Structure formats: structure tokens, C-alpha cells
A and B are shown apart, each in its own frame.
Chain A
């Protein structure tokens, strides 16, 4: 399933991550998943939240740069080889994965993943066609 992820630019100073997360908490936004990519001089915080529009507005008002991107959320079997099945499908279709991160999910027996790929529509179609369980948007936005 294609979902919206928010990417936040974080300058390399103590407290920047905390300030962003705090702003979201105060606005009543719940974070479903997050990943932090770090370069030497800055970081990018990637977030899946239950209310993307409110979150984007809140962060923009707090003076940080936020952009929304389309990423894929999927549930895979929480067992050995579960990830391999999915990754093989994408590799065979020559879809490039830019990054991925896992969510700690509450869906029994499933591992939830967020993937950024170069062609989200194509990847989504392939995953839907092949074996992947459709996930309930409510599961991903409010894990």
C-alpha cells in the first residue's frame, strides 16, 4: 500500500530531534514509525504518523522543513525468509530500494515495513499481485 511519509530536515544541533517530536506530541499527532538518517552535518527524520496533514503543518509552523513523500508500507510474514520473498519480487522487477525501515507492529504474526523505492506505483502493483497481504490503513497509521 502506498502511504505518505514525512521527511524532516534536522540540523546538526542537540535538541533538534527532540523539538520536532515534542511539537508533534503537543499537537496530538501519534507517530507510527520513524527512522533517522544521519549525515555528518545534518539528519533526515522520516516519519509515518496518524495525521500527516496536521503533522506537516505543525512542523512547518515550528520552523522546520518538511516534505511529504510516497512510500510503500507492507506486511510480511514474521518468520525466516519473510523479507527475502518480498525483496526478491522487487529485485526481479528491477525496482531500486532507496531505503527501508521496520515498524514494531501490533499485527500478530506480521512484520510491518516501510520502503522507499524509485517507482512506487510499479512496486505496489507487483506486491499486490504477489502474495502480499493487503494491510489495513488503520494498522499502519495507528500501529
Chain B
């Protein structure tokens, strides 16, 4: 557990020293959402209907941008190999790295989503479902994306492959995340899709660190 905490603080400290690394994906997210607004007719009411899907796809894409670098630097300078050899279970340290990734890229997205949704004229009734859905869904993006990044860490050009590996696995998260917002807008109870997202999250938290650890070990054989 100490090792996991040490990794977590290390990741956060590293991020603090190079702020652009985690600010740029957020900026990208804001840009994507605003470009949708600019591309549509000014004040088009239709945009509000697409807001859940725009925000979710924007979140997916901006997380996707960061995945390639998730393990790359540690792989190149040998830190990752040391983590594989260390006494602390690799699944735990990988879990800590992925948690740090979510804190740096997922959590800010959750916080940014509400003001952007208002900018897209999403009715206030849909906001809680959107924020809760993103809060439950973005960790899944971090974990599943981390698994794909671990699979491709030894490949020189993984950037093009990652979307093909990650997006199919994340399709259910997108469907239920955007579905929760639509349910809330339609006056229905958004709890069912949110519970489903929570179930997926629990599944990911328990299983993905082991799969990602196995993928990382494979990179060193």
C-alpha cells in the first residue's frame, strides 16, 4: 500500500512540475465542445439535444490523447522495468498510476463538464445526471485506456492503434453515460444507467489492474 501511495504522490508531483502535460488535454476538451457550438447555427436549439453526446465524445477523445504517454516515459527511462521487478505487486502500482491519471485528466473533465453543458444550452435538469455519469465513467476510461496503453507500450507507433483498441471497449460507457442524461431530460429516473456505470466501474477497478500488469510484463519478455 505504501508503494502505491508513493507512486501516486510521485505522479502528482511530476504533473505539478510540468503543468502543460495535463492542461493541454483539458484545453482540447474545451476546444472540441466549443467548435461544435461554432459549427452549428447560432443558438440552435438542436444543439442542446446533442449536448450529452458531444460532451461524452469530447471527454473520450481528450482522454485518448493522453493515453499514449501514460507508460511511455517510464518505459523509456527504465522506471517501469524497476516497477515490474519491485517487491510491491505490480497490479497495485499500476492501479496507483491509473488513479493518478484519472485525478489529472478525468476529474478536471468532470468539473469542466457542467459549465460547458450550460454553454451548449443543456437544460439544468440534465446536469446532475451528466456530472454523475462522467464522475463514474471517466475512471473507466482511465482504467480501460490504461490497459490498452499497457498492451502497446513496447510499440513505437501505438498512437494510431490505441483508438481501435480502446473505443470498442468503451462503447457501453458512452451509451449509458449519454443515456442517463437523456433519461433525466425526458423526466425519467436516471438512476438505472448510472447504476450500470457504477457496476462497470467496480468491475474495472477490480480486474483491469491485473490485466494491465500482465500486459506490462509481456512488454519486457
Do A and B pair up? The answer is no
Binding site for B on A (CB under 8 A): none
